[in-house]
Amino acid sequence: MSASTGTDDKGFRIVTIPCLRDNYAFLIHDSTTNRTALIDAPEADPIETVLRARGWKLDAILLTHHHDDHIAAVPALLQNHKAQVYGAAADRHRLPPLDHALKGGDVFSLLGTPVEVIEVPGHTIGHIAFHLPELTAAFTGDSLMVMGCGRLFEGTAAQMYHSLTQLAALPPETLIHSGHEYTESNMRFALSILPDDPSLRARATKIAACRAEGSFTVPARLEKELATNPFLRAHEAQIARAIDMPDADPLRVFTRLRAMKDDF
């Protein structure tokens, strides 16, 4: 199963592809030129199935970070597609061979639309995100996730907090395409912090209904994340009070939230 957005007025379509147990890959297709890009490559077969069904070929593969469940399918895909591979310069030693090594602040053209590269360390040191302003879309991998954020495997809480602050500053209508379907478990954690929050409870009901019918919760609008995702609300007094840190600064609150989620 895959889910596709409608084609916008510039002829672009974004397709969400479930891979492995709970990963997502994303295709961006330009119907005007019939060119296609892939964001992350967890598993080749589901991606190839969608490509074949739609008659598309890959022209580019963009990688958010080095973990196998985001890059493992690159060699197999390159056997069938002459695609350029993009990834973080800082991580090129542990990514598939790159045609384009990127760093934060870079802007490049993908299928004729600009892509802004944002360094978002925390989950890994070399993690990057891709913001496509003309498509109102950001691909955040395992940094900002719907109703959560990635576990700190390599980076520090301070790095992740800074990364999330950068992503939170994107336009609120931006659709956040994160790398996993973790939303229900993330929501359960959020409700454990603020069980009576009406906005959380309302969104939890919608998420449960979405998953019950087999639909994806990814992507999600950034404005919804800003209102409900506890990791984007560490500056709010009610979050600090809820975890018994009423006088703590936002970074300390975030650090505590991330540790609590690890043990949840």
Note down the domain range covering 157.
3-187
User: Is there a domain that residue 169 lies in?
Assistant: yes
Identify the residue whose tokens are 């973080």: 88
Is 69 one of the annotated binding-site residues? yes
Report yes or no on 45 lying in a domain.
yes
Question: Is residue 45 marked as binding?
Answer: no
Cα 228 to chain centroid distance, Å, stands at 17
Count: domains in the chain? 1
249 belongs to an annotated ligand binding site: no
Give yes or no for a contact between 139 and 174, defined as CB atoms under 8 angstroms apart.
no
Q: What is the pTM of this model?
A: 0.95
User: How far is the C-alpha of 150 from the C-alpha of 137, rounded, in Å?
Assistant: 19
Residue 193: predicted pLDDT: 96
What is the C-alpha to C-alpha distance for residues 244 and 70, in angstroms, rounded to an integer? Answer: 37
Interhelix angle 250-262/157-168, rounded to 10 degrees, is 110
Contacting residues for 212 by C-beta, under 8 A, at least 6 apart: none
Once rounded to an integer, what is the mean pLDDT over residues 88-96?
97
- pLDDT per position as a tens digit, 202-237: 999 999 999 999 999 999 999 999 999 999 999 999
Average pLDDT over residues 17-40: 97
Does 67 count as an annotated binding residue?
A: yes
Residue 263 annotated as lining a ligand binding site: no
Q: Is residue 97 part of a domain?
A: yes
| pLDDT exceeds 90 at position 5 | no
Q: How many CB atoms lie within 10 A of CB 13?
A: 18
Give the pLDDT confidence of 105-131 residue by residue, as tens digits.
Answer: 999 999 999 999 999 999 999 999 999
Specify if 260 maps to a domain: no
Structure tokens at 173: 């209508």
The pLDDT, as a whole number, for residue 10 is 73
Q: Is 123 annotated as a binding residue?
A: yes
Q: Where are the beta strands (DSSP E) in 42-106?
A: 58-62, 84-88, 100-102
- CA distances for 40 relative to 8, 157, 199, 223, angstroms: 22, 24, 32, 24
Q: Is residue 220 part of a domain?
A: no
Any domain includes 210: no
Question: Would you say residue 198 lies in a domain?
Answer: no
- Cβ contact 142:123 at 8 Å: yes
Task: With respect to residue 254, please indicate whether it lies within any of the assigned structural domains.
Answer: no
93 is in an annotated binding site: no
CATH number at residue 98: 3.60.15.10
